[in-house]
Amino acid sequence: RQAETVGKWENGLMMLKYPIWPRYEFSSSTIKDERHLSIVTLEERPFVIVENVDALTGTCMRSTVACRQEINMTDTSGDKSPYVKRCCKGFCIDILRKLSTTVRFTYDLYLVVNGKHGKKI
């Protein structure tokens, strides 16, 4: 197996080949993938526990899954993402991780905005 160059340091900037947080970058383009799901959940201990990312690395700990929480933005004209990075763990997250490996799908995990299980359409 060969080492792969994933980035370089140039003029005081780190240029990466891949995003640090896959599929997290906010953009208008969407990635078409039939085996990729958008999953929405809410915090309900001990089934889903939400934590902040590690302050030093900006990533989730080993036993957690990256999840996104929408933030209230009054000005959405900038390039900032409307989401904040969070980390989810718990019984249901363990099941989700096992299912995704067994059934072979990928996913983006989101937290509901209003803290409710859903709404009538």
Domain at 95, CATH number: 3.40.190.10
Q: Which two tokens stand for residue 110?
A: 């989101």
Q: Which tens digits make up the pLDDT trace of 65-119? A: 999 998 876 555 555 678 899 999 999 999 999 999 999 999 999 999 888 877 6
User: Can you say how many angstroms the Cα of residue 52 is from the centroid of all Cα atoms in its chain?
Assistant: 12
CB 108 within 8 A of CB 68: yes
36-41 and 7-10 as β-strands: parallel, antiparallel, unpaired? unpaired
Q: What is the pLDDT of residue 120?
A: 64
Range of 106's domain?
31-111
Q: Which tens digits make up the pLDDT trace of 12-37? A: 877 777 666 555 454 444 556 678 99
This prediction's pTM: 0.66
CA 110/CA 84 separation, integer angstroms:
10
Is residue 45 in a domain? Answer: yes
pLDDT band with cut points at 50, 70 and 90 for residue 6: confident
Is residue 71 in a domain? Answer: yes
Based on the structure, what is the number of domains in the chain? 1
Residue type at position 48: V
